[in-house]
Amino acid sequence: DAGVTQSPTHLIKTRGQQVTLRCSPKSGHDTVSWYQQALGQGPQFIFQYYEEEERQRGNFPDRFSGHQFPNYSSELNVNALLLGDSALYLCASSPDLTDQETQYFGPGTRLLVL
Amino acid sequence: AQSVTQLDSHVSVSEGTPVLLRCNYSSSYSPSLFWYVQHPNKGLQLLLKYTSAATLVKGINGFEAEFKKSETSFHLTKPSAHMSDAAEYFCVVRTEENRDDKIIFGKGTRLHILP
């Protein structure tokens, strides 16, 4: 079992560009959540996907959007990048929407915006 | 509104001595509480969780935490620190308010183990 995987591991973009990050959940998991972890901070919840729909959303602007595919993998898209979007982006999966007690995290994608 | 406060940003202990990482929470509803550990360049790993069962929760790697409602605390402890425990630790509170699932991470405590 590969666990939660994320790609790419690192990414460098410039202000105004758009970025897409990818996540494959742990085998058997159908719920995917995304978090942003700024340097020296705890992760902040961005949104959660289940059955290809956004189910919950944190306090992030509409520049942050996502998608979930029929195979449960997910993408996080960020438009019009700002310097402040530089962070580690974490993906977490859980067995289903009713079992949020245990989330498995991927290693993250480190995004640097110049 | 809910929040979580990790009282120490850094904690240093000698190898073989006890570890105490402090966490206080605020929640209008009955919370679930978690501790996660983050080693450099690795994903967050769940250490333990409290979900309204026994107030003393045992986790992996010898860690445990006690839920104290009267003190709104969920401190993480370990009797004897090991060098491999050096990492960042996050306290997490989760509540479901009006079907809105909220998950809040603390800012983290970096644990340093001295030889």
Domain boundaries, chain B: 3-114
Burial of B64 (C-beta count, 10 Å sphere; 0-12/13-18/19+): middle
- Compare all CA atoms of chain B with the CA of A10 and give the residue at the minimum distance: B41
CB A70 within 8 A of CB A52: yes
Is A42 in the B-facing interface, judged by CB distances under 8 Å? yes
The reported pLDDT for the residue numbered B42 is 79
The residue range of the domain holding A63 is 5-113
Would you call A42 and B108 a contact, using CB atoms and an 8 Å cutoff?
Answer: yes
CB A52 within 8 A of CB A78: no
Would you call B103 and A101 a contact, using CB atoms and an 8 Å cutoff?
Answer: no
- Which fold is adopted by the domain B3-114? Immunoglobulin-like (2.60.40)
Would you call A90 and B43 a contact, using CB atoms and an 8 Å cutoff?
Answer: yes
Nearest to A105 among B43, B100, B101 (CB): B43
The reported pLDDT for the residue numbered B114 is 95
Residue A54 belongs to domain with CATH number? 2.60.40.10
Q: Tell me what the mean pLDDT of segment A58-87 comes to.
A: 96
Q: To the nearest whole angstrom, how far is the Cα of B61 from the nearest Cα of chain A?
A: 17
B28 or A16, which is more confident: A16
Q: Which residues of B touch A87 (CB under 8 A)?
A: none
Specify the number of domains making up chain A.
Answer: 1
Show the beta-strand stretches assigned E in A1-114: 5-7, 10-13, 19-24, 31-37, 44-50, 53-57, 64-68, 74-78, 87-94, 104-105, 109-113
Q: Which two tokens stand for residue B108?
A: 């983290």
Beta carbons within 8 Å of A92's beta carbon, 6+ residues apart: A4, A32, A33, A34, A35, A103, A104, A105, A106, B44
Q: What is the 3-state secondary structure (H, E, C) of A1-31?
A: CCCCEEECCEEEECCCCCEEEEEECCCCCCE
Q: To the nearest whole angstrom, how far is the Cα of B108 from the nearest Cα of chain A?
A: 6
The reported pLDDT for the residue numbered B54 is 83
Nearest to A42 among B42, B101, B107 (CB): B107
Dump pLDDT digits (tens) for B46-95.
999 998 778 899 999 999 999 999 999 999 999 999 999 999 999 999 88
Q: To the nearest whole angstrom, how far is the Cα of A45 from the nearest Cα of chain B?
A: 7
Q: Report percent pLDDT > 70 for chain B.
A: 97
Helix (H, G, I), strand (E, B), or coil: what is residue B92?
strand
Q: To the nearest whole angstrom, how far is the Cα of A29 from the nearest Cα of chain B?
A: 16
Q: Tell me what the mean pLDDT of segment A44-64 comes to.
A: 93
CB B48 within 8 A of CB B64: yes
